[in-house]
Amino acid sequence: MNPTRDEDALNWAGDDDPTLQNGSTDPARTEPSALPAGWTIPQGAAHPTAVPSTTDAASPEPDGADVTAQPDSAAASSAALVGMGILAGMYLLYTVGWFIGVARIEKPISDPVAEFMFSLGAWLAVAAPLAWFGATYWLTTGSPRARRAWLLIGVLVLAPLPFILGTGTLA
């Protein structure tokens, strides 16, 4: 950064807001509370960077995660996120498939109560994939393994058979 803020390439209004300052007038000094547990800044360094402390580099974080295991957990969380996106897309396609399958069904029912019950069941079938995904995601927040298992069970159970088989009649 330039010594004068007027020569900066990107100068935004409000850059001089005192609430945006970290409280230190020395730009080379970082707040200790901003560092992860077990990390220190070497004293007297020309360009201070946070490095793991040599005394407790292998000690676990307070939440139980090891500092050295972060790249593996990041890769695992990326794979889990991609998998969750694929499953969410499948459930969305199942909802569209159920909608198309229900729209194809011809209703030869003349009784008003039976016709209402049939329509209710058909629209509940359309909503079932979204309801399953939402309930599974909400009820299994503490257990990712159970979430994946229940979502995979839903993929098998909620397949839109009227759309897949191409049937359009009750008989």
pLDDT tens digits, residue range 67-98? 554 556 666 688 888 999 999 999 999 999 99
Domain positions in the chain are: 70-165
Which percentage of the chain shows pLDDT scores above 90? 31
- Average pLDDT score over residue span 17-38: 58
- Write down how long the chain is: 171
Q: Band of the pLDDT at 43, cuts 50, 70, 90?
A: low
- Is pLDDT larger for residue 126 or for residue 42? 126
pLDDT tens digits, residue range 91-132? 999 999 999 888 888 777 888 999 899 889 999 999 999 999
Amino acid at 53: S
- Alpha-helical (H) ranges within 20-158 are 70-104, 112-139, 144-157
How high does pLDDT run on average in the chain? 75
**Sign of the CA dihedral 30, 33, 34, 39?**
positive
Amino acid at 54: T
